[in-house]
Amino acid sequence: VQLQASGGGLGQAGGSLRLSCAASGNTFSKQSVGWYRQAPGEQRELIASISSTSDTYYKDFVKGRFRISRDNAKNTAYLQMNSLKPEDTAVYYCNTGRHVGVDYYPSGSWGQGTLVTVSS
């Protein structure tokens, strides 16, 4: 599965952006999807994931602000980002993988990310 994240850009604090993750191939619906971000000088970190049955999981620092979803008919996952903060500024990536319980394990290669910049 190859993935392409898109939808990034310049947002304002308190505003919203929606990211998309388009997948190739025919196994997308059977896989979990994770959204990651990497801020300048920081390590890439998982922020949200969704299972093949659409169970969703969030890191505390985005819980209540971000929402992950998927549309298997379109081979696409989404990350709705609300109440943006300047500290959300990062390159955002998506990946497919699997869940073991609530833990998400990515697999496959990383596609090109999309840059989100949030101004104060």
pLDDT in tens, 78-116: 999 999 999 999 999 999 999 999 999 998 777 789 999
Q: How far apart are CA 33 and CA 94, in angstroms?
A: 7
Residue 2 is predicted with a pLDDT of: 87
Residue 8 is predicted with a pLDDT of: 97
- Asked if residue 34 lies in contact with residue 107, where contact means CB atoms within 8 angstroms, the answer is no
Coil, strand or helix: which one is 86?
Answer: helix
- Asked if residue 88 lies in contact with residue 116, where contact means CB atoms within 8 angstroms, the answer is yes
47 beta partners: none
Q: What type of residue sits at position 99?
A: H
pLDDT in tens, 49-74: 999 999 999 999 999 999 999 999 99
